[in-house]
Amino acid sequence: MSDIALNQAPAHVRHGSNIGQPLTRRDGVLKVTGAATYAADNCLPGMLYGVLAVSSIARGRVVSLDIEAAKAHPGVVEVMTQANRPALAQDPDAKTNPFMFRIDLLQSDRVRYANQPIAVVIAETLEAATEGAALLSPRYEVETARTGLDSAGSFVPPAVGIGSPAELYHGDVEAGLSEAEQRLEVTYSTPAQYHNAMEPHAIVAAWDGDKLVVDTPSQGLAIAQGRLAGLFGTPPENIMIRSPFLGGGFGSKGLISGPQILGVLAARLLGQPVKLVLRREQMYGPVGHRAPTRQTLRLGTASDGALTAIHHHTRTTSSTFDDFFEPASDVSHTLYASPAIATTYDAVRLDTGTPLFMRAPGEATGSVALESAIDEMAQACGMDPLAFRLKNYAETEPMTGKPFSSKALRECYRQGAERFGWSTRPLSPREMRDNDGLLVGWGMGTATFPALMFQAEARAVVRRNGSGVVEIGAHDMGQGAWTALAQIAADALGLNMDEIEFISGRSDLPNAGIAGGSAHTATAGMAIHNAGAAVIAKLADLAAGDEGSPLYGSGNAGVVARGGKLFRRDDDSRSESYSAILERAGLDQVEGSGSAAADPKAQDTYAMHAHGAVFAEVKVDPELGQIRATRLVGAFAAGRIINPRMVRSQYFGGMIWGVSFALHEHAAVDRRTGRVMNANLGEYHVPVSADIPSLEAFLVEEHDPHVNALGIKGVGEIGITGTAGAIANAVWHATGVRVRNFPITLDNLMR
């Protein structure tokens, strides 16, 4: 049987009816009944408990640990330190690619950030390990911590985000500014933020000779498997990672973290399974965060309100030992048309854990500043903020000159504004009050997120009994992948949901890439689609080439798959079931595999983004400055919607994180010690339901023929963009006070 070359053109999409249905989560019952097993729920015979001891200083050296005291505690089995930690095949500080972050695996007595692991206490119970860790009483040689955006030694980063240039120029910004009728220069600051997934990083690790089995949450199984393989000098196939459910990730589980690997090392040291779960406060250091930024926007407009220049400069931070630079300025590449755009960066190195991608890295931070500045400029021009955006939003990507693969932003503006009731908004601030005398303000923001695709593979099977199997090492962080990807899988095989087995969440399955960059549905989905198409193509070959089949002579492309049968594309009355085809061919099953990657030609030709518009109402107590986000309406266009229920939930989640960004989240770093002072969910504020009484997200129809054959764009992160700015702009509209330090808190408003 020959392998069929697959054409990704839409004409060859043979999907059926599962895509587009608002199905409920297939794993919903498991989750609400507690039957879903998260990593830390696993227990193995003979399992020990590992607890991290972490540094209380941000910079210096560990001079001593009272290991005897810890080991003397009843139940403590061992203390793993630099002295006895098993050898690794690779230096944890080695870096051969940008995704290989340097991690702390007890390789040195150096302390390079607060909450860095300095020992692991292993005991028969969690309590004994916790108490043992408390008995270590570390003594340090303390050096002064470098903290804050004004720390010495700023430099231009080698790259920002994942390999974007730190300086980009289009046109002449200085000329654009000097010829402008209106000029604006404003600076916004955003604080360090921490991912704070509900589920902490956790691992249960068990070695069997040189084979390793771990249960641990992962947004990137194959990358994690490769990292462990490199560190332990073991072939990747000796390592099995199971990650069926994640309690959120937000980027912090994209790469396996140091603490998770310390669990594997502890299991290696003792030759017994070990469970290691981070305590909440231990997540403020070794598992990434969003770096603080200070962003300066310089804008110019002509007399008609058209932008003449945008300069977006970001000062950000990284750690002293590794590179990740929050790409906040880059959002200015794509949103607004201007003959001149410049994006620039500088950075300082702090005694902090290395920053990492977190919930729309760059887009969230950058858009809160850009959307605030756009609003300030509209105000300076005496224009309504929506009218100003309609005048200035980009029709082709301004930085590259590329057309957008599709863009329904204008429709998002229109539908969102209409639903919200924007047209009655007074231009001036402080003009609306509610019945209780609270100041009411309305603000808006534009949402955007790139439509990315990474690389993935999948396998599919149709069996003689007519059922199907799809296998892919994909990841469900709570976003609904087990449902959406299964919908794609069912359609790819022309079967109903209950006729397929969808197998996922393990590292021994085909590589699904990373569940990040809002690209998982597009990437894993296209691999699944192509694997299914390969199976159907083989079935079609069998039928079309067999005189005994009603499909004989149809030709491969002349056949479509639906409901477990192949049909002639031009004659519905001629069909044959998969079972009959396989039966006659004497086959138990047919298999196919598929892969997915971005199409470089399409990417060279088009700028690919999802778009949206978010409208927000806030109420502010005029005496106390207390702010409530009372109403949010988001309109988003993101290509083909696989599951509208799940997608709406994703938009809700993103919008809530936008409110969180604007009003709540703030890691308060002690400038003297470099420690996060609010390293807990009591004091690191995130919104609860009562903070968002009315939340609406709707799906603006969009067909994108270029992103991929299924037309899928990402939906996971776009909601946070636009929303944070909309809230900030609404606060200004309510109060007339422009707060440029995020989060906007009542003390900022009352000053």
Chain positions contacting ligand MOS, by CB under 6 A: 219, 249-251, 254, 357-359, 361, 516-517
Structural contact between residues 321 and 356, judged by C-beta atoms closer than 8 angstroms = no
Q: Which residues contact 512 (CB under 8 A, 6 or more apart)?
A: 221, 222, 456, 457, 458, 472, 473, 474, 475, 504, 520, 523, 524, 527
We find the least distance from the C-beta atom of residue 194 to ligand MOS, in angstroms, to be: 13
Cβ nearer to ligand MOS, comparing 162 with 597: 162
Cβ nearer to ligand MOS, comparing 247 with 249: 249
> Which residues, listed in sequence order, are joined to residue 458 by a DSSP beta bridge?
594
Instruction: Give me the torsion for CA of 463, 467, 471, 474, rounded to 10°.
Output: 170
Cβ nearer to ligand MOS, comparing 441 with 639: 639
DSSP H helices in 201-277: 221-232, 258-270
Active site residue 124: no
We find the least distance from the C-beta atom of residue 218 to ligand MOS, in angstroms, to be: 11
**Tokens matching residue 390:** 């309609």
> Which residues, listed in sequence order, are joined to residue 205 by a DSSP beta bridge?
214, 274
Structural contact between residues 256 and 246, judged by C-beta atoms closer than 8 angstroms = no
Phi-psi region at 218: left, alpha or beta (left = phi > 0; alpha = psi -120 to 50): beta
Q: Helix, strand or coil for residue 72?
A: helix
Cβ nearer to ligand MOS, comparing 249 with 286: 249
Q: Which of 199, 363, 702, 717 is catalytic?
A: 717
We find the least distance from the C-beta atom of residue 517 to ligand MOS, in angstroms, to be: 5
Cβ nearer to ligand MOS, comparing 334 with 530: 334
We find the least distance from the C-beta atom of residue 254 to ligand MOS, in angstroms, to be: 5
We find the least distance from the C-beta atom of residue 105 to ligand MOS, in angstroms, to be: 23
The closest of 292, 356, 351, 346 to 323, measured between CA atoms, is: 356
We find the least distance from the C-beta atom of residue 478 to ligand MOS, in angstroms, to be: 12
We find the least distance from the C-beta atom of residue 252 to ligand MOS, in angstroms, to be: 8
Q: What's the alpha-carbon Rg for the chain, to the nearest Å?
A: 27
Closest-approach residue to ligand MOS (CB): 251
Cβ nearer to ligand MOS, comparing 324 with 357: 357
**Tokens matching residue 704:** 């994108």
The closest of 268, 282, 232 to 122, measured between CA atoms, is: 268
Cβ nearer to ligand MOS, comparing 219 with 372: 219
Number of H-type helices and E-type strands within the chain: 16, 27
We find the least distance from the C-beta atom of residue 513 to ligand MOS, in angstroms, to be: 11
Cβ nearer to ligand MOS, comparing 104 with 363: 363
Structural contact between residues 120 and 80, judged by C-beta atoms closer than 8 angstroms = yes
- Rounded Cα distance between 47 and 50, Å, is 10
We find the least distance from the C-beta atom of residue 361 to ligand MOS, in angstroms, to be: 5
Cβ nearer to ligand MOS, comparing 184 with 368: 368
We find the least distance from the C-beta atom of residue 722 to ligand MOS, in angstroms, to be: 17
For residue 57, the 8-state DSSP code is: S
Beta pairing, strands 695-699 & 627-637: parallel
- Rounded Cα distance between 309 and 170, Å, is 10
Cβ nearer to ligand MOS, comparing 197 with 212: 197
Cβ nearer to ligand MOS, comparing 79 with 255: 255
- Rounded Cα distance between 310 and 170, Å, is 10
We find the least distance from the C-beta atom of residue 360 to ligand MOS, in angstroms, to be: 7
What does 662-696 look like in DSSP terms, one character per residue?
A: HHT----B-TTT--BTT-STTTS----GGG-S-EE
- Rounded Cα distance between 569 and 420, Å, is 45
Structural contact between residues 518 and 718, judged by C-beta atoms closer than 8 angstroms = yes
Q: Three-state secondary structure along 161-181?
A: CCCECCEEEECCHHHHHHCCC
Structural contact between residues 385 and 443, judged by C-beta atoms closer than 8 angstroms = yes
DSSP H helices in 352-466: 363-380, 385-392, 409-420
Q: How far is CA 629 from CA 36, 623, 682, 693, in A?
A: 34, 17, 20, 8
**Residues with a known catalytic role:** 717
